[in-house]
A and B are shown apart, each in its own frame.
Chain A
Amino acid sequence: MKSLAAALVGSAALLAVAACSAGSGTSSGTSPGADQSLAIGLVAEPASLDFTTTDGAAIPQALLGNIYNGLVKQDETGKIVPDLAKSWTVSPDRKTYTFTLVDNAKFTNGQQFTADDAVFSIDRVKTAWTTSLKSAMDVVQTAKAVSPTELQVTLSKPSNDWLFRMTTRIGAMFSKTGVDKLATDPVGTGPYKFSEWKRGDSIVLQRNADYWGSKPYFGQVTLKYFKDPTALNNALLTGTINVIGTVQAPEALSQFTGNDKYQVIEGTTNGEVLLSFNNSRPVFKDIRVRQAIRSAINHQALMDTCWAGRGKLIGSMVPPTDPWYEDLTGIAPYDQAKAKSLLQAAGATGATLRLRLPTLPYATSCGQVVKSQLEQAGLKVQIDQLEFPAAWLTSVLKGGDYDMSIISHVEPRDLRQVFNAKYYTKYDDPTLKQYLDAADAGDEATQIAEMKKAARRISEQAAADWLFLLPNLIVADKNIQGLPKNAITESFDLSRLTR
């Protein structure tokens, strides 16, 4: 597969489908007639509702799995399971996928979902999408509708990654006649339909009465967006919202932990908080400088200081929920003396680096710790803040005008997308590419082995520093059930929630 420079940088923890940790009352068919509403507090409001042209994790978080279905999706264990495709077969050469589609799905504009829509959606990624994620579909040679319920997709080469990407936003199924107003009025086949978007405040979703699967419990769900983490906490305390989708002020968690009215859920996410390096800068061309920075950072102290010790230390771009996870924190242990001597050897002692931070709570907070720790090792760090998303996406992600930045990459399995010469990390490494290509083309065991090599490679090469993995930190009213323990997909699946 081609390199896909994914722009999946999101604000913070993306919450997900995943495990029904807090008991799964859903299946017992809690009568969907119960007309109850739910309000969820989130951060970083989407800039648009169209993820085909706009980057940002907040859009699929709200829409994927709720308004849009894919052919396939991930279950709580990460396994790929049927969604709009009832079943599928793969040809022996692993290049042709034949999907059998459900015959009772309808779009909210009244149109029936058929294989033609699937072909349209897959082709449209190549023709109309503008985000860098679209390259995930480059491997598709042809998609054709054999019958209204049978779809055949032929790849140019075997790819493990393709079917997985079909569980993400890339695989969302659109209506042939419903893509005119994606930015403001999305049309899908999902359990919810779009109702209203009050800009700067909230997105309201209504239960889709014609949904082809089992109906969701809540009749109306409001996704309420907050800029200020304290205001988000207060909204739950005052009953304005029922769930904090992702806690942004972990120090203030003590307000909830001791309180019987609330439940606190803590797990892992795909959100690797990266101290990214602009590898095209002369100073970062020297591996000793990159390694020095990794050694200069005391990761445990950093996580304790800036995120109240919540999260997980990771030594590479793989969260523990992925099959090829290994604990690689030993590759760059905290060693200030080593950092100093590496910098000395590279002649970079006293060099000034610009750390450009997005205005997100974890970045602002951790940036100050990074600055202090790097300065103790002999570097000079200049911090400036860029408004997130607009200014940061323009200057850093698209413009590449930075030396270092801090951002959580929440896209699932995003190692290839992030460490790529075309992405803002400007990391060009043929060896890495070789491992990744082998992983994509091989069988399952090969994939795992090669991905492990890739993860080790970027860690040893110090392509960036991994500060920590954001925790999936949810606080909710005690009686809300179905919230995910680990956030492993791009979407916040509302259909699993009950009261």
Chain B
Amino acid sequence: MNRRLNPSLIVGGFIVGLIVLIALLSFIWTPYDATLVDSSIRLAKPSWSHWFGTDKFGRDILSQLMVGARTTLFVGLVAVGVAAVIGVPVGILAAMTPRWPSEVIMRSNDLLLAFPALLLAIMFGAVFGASTLTAMIAIGIATVPSFARVIRSGALQVMRTEYVLAARAAGRRPVPIAVRHVLPNVVSLITVQASVSFAIAVLAEAALSFLGYGTAPPTPSWGRMLQESQEFLFSAPRLAVFPGLAIAVAVLGFNLLGDGLRDRFDPRLEDRR
């Protein structure tokens, strides 16, 4: 098997690429204005003019899904960004400090890890008001521990390599070592972790919007589309199917991409072959 181009990587990359393309496309073109209410065509069935039909406001579902992809990606990017910006330095710091400060960092990390991400986000929503921004930041903070943990283990390995030992023997300060030697060697770990976290962030945003703690109407969001379809589960179940599928496919895509990237980068897998 060609490890560089494994199936997970190809399929995951394709799905993610497609979502990114759709999101970008939505900036310049959607079939209809995604927030335009037209009561005369409410709850229209899928047809040539509205491929996925319309919702209870007469809004085109396809257009909403396209704009919703933007929300999804944006939330994922910011949440993962927040997690990486905090989690990576914390992980490296934990790997480079002596035993007890490292223990303190990692135990407080575990404490946060034990705290459910959704609960944290709902708390944030209650305190700072429900919005996409608070949801993104809360999801990001909740993802910090998993980043820190993975990066720390990677950094520990790097710290034991001869070139780092040599650098330390030569009297280089810890910060240059971290930036010059440790960070470049954990970039692949960061990429993999980011991709997996992205999937989690997408799901979390959907769940929060479903609960009313995420994206505020009328900005399209897959989670809120699901929520709005609730009262139609008996009369027009298709309203729930399309956003549901979009969420499932996006999460699958990011997970596959994460798997693929791990296979691509993980040196241990290389040794095994």
- In the assembled complex, A305 has its CB within 8 A of some CB on chain B: yes
Question: Is A286 at the interface (CB under 8 A from chain B)?
Answer: no
Nearest residue in B to A390 (C-beta to C-beta)?
Answer: B126
- In this complex, the member of B39, B129, B130, B216 whose beta carbon has the largest number of chain A beta carbons within 10 angstroms is B39
Q: How far is the CA of A372 from the CA of B55 in the complex (A)?
A: 14
Is B31 interfacial (CB-CB < 8 Å)? no
Query: Quick check: is B58 within 8 A (CB to CB) of the other chain?
Result: yes
Are A384 and B37 neighbours in the complex by a CB distance under 8 Å? no
- Contact yes or no, B218 A254, CB < 8 A: no
Give Cα A254–Cα B58 distance, bound, in whole angstroms: 20
B235 close to chain A: CB less than 8 A: yes
Residue B45 is within 8 A (CB to CB) of chain A in the complex: no
Asked whether, in the complex, the Cβ of A372 is within 8 Å of the Cβ of B235, the reply is no
A-chain residues with CB within 8 Å of residue B35 when the two chains form the complex: 368, 371-372
User: In the complex, what residues of A have CB within 8 A of residue B233's CB?
Assistant: 230, 252
Contact A387-B126, Cβ < 8 Å, known A368-B57, A368-B218: yes
Number of chain B residues close to chain A: CB under 8 A: 23
- A255 CB–B CB distance under 8 Å: yes
Which of these, A229, A233, A373, contacts B37 with CB under 8 Å? Answer: A373
Residues on the A chain within 8 Å of B126, using CB: 387
A322 CB within 8 Å of chain B: no
CB distance from A240 to the nearest CB of B (A): 18
A280 within 8 A of B: no
Say yes or no for B230: interface residue by CB 8 A criterion.
yes
**In the complex, A251 has a CB within 8 A of chain B:** yes
Which residues from chain B contact A233 at a C-beta distance below 8 Å? 231
Contacts of B212 in A (CB 8 A): 359, 385
A 337-368 contacts with B by CB, 8 A: 359, 364, 367-368
Does chain B have a CB within 8 A of A203?
A: no
A301 at interface (Cβ–Cβ under 8 A)?
A: yes
Q: Which residues of A contact B218 (CB under 8 A)?
A: 368, 371-372, 383
* Measured CA separation A75–B39 after assembly (Å): 39
Q: How many A-B contacts at CB < 8 Å in the complex?
A: 66
Whether the Cβ atoms of A254 and B235 lie closer than 8 Å is yes
A298 touches B216 (CB 8 A): no
Question: Does B36 make an interface contact (CB < 8 A)?
Answer: yes
Q: Are A298 and B39 touching (Cβ within 8 A)?
A: yes
**Does B237 interact with chain A (Cβ within 8 Å)?**
no
Q: Is B36 touching A372 in the complex (CB atoms < 8 A)?
A: yes
Type the 1/0 row for B21-40, where 1 means its CB is closer than 8 Å to any CB of A. Answer: 00000000000000111011
Residues of B within 8 A of A359 (CB): 212
A304 to B57, CA, bound (A): 9
B231 touches A230 (CB 8 A): yes
Which residues does chain A contribute within 8 Å of B56, judged by CB atoms? 251, 305-306
- Asked if A302 is at the interface of the complex by the 8 Å CB criterion, the answer is yes
Give the chain B neighbours of A153 by CB distance below 8 A: none
The reply to whether B130 and A385 form a contact with Cβ atoms under 8 Å apart is: yes
Once the chains are docked, how many angstroms separate the CA of A190 from the CA of B126? 37
- A305 adjacent to B216 (CB under 8 Å): no
Q: Mark A379-415, 1 if CB is under 8 A from B, else 0.
A: 0000111110001000000000000000000000000
Beta-carbon contact of B234 and A385 below 8 Å: no
Cβ contact of A385, chosen from B37, B40, B58, B216, cutoff 8 A: B216
Quick check: is A249 within 8 A (CB to CB) of the other chain? yes
Which of B36, B39, B130, B235 has a CB less than 8 Å from the CB of A301? B39
B-contacting residues of A (Cβ < 8 Å)? Answer: 229-230, 233, 249, 251-252, 254-255, 298, 301-302, 304-306, 359, 364, 367-369, 371-373, 383-387, 391
8 contacts between A and B (CB under 8 A): A249-B230, A252-B233, A254-B234, A298-B39, A372-B36, A383-B216, A383-B218, A385-B130
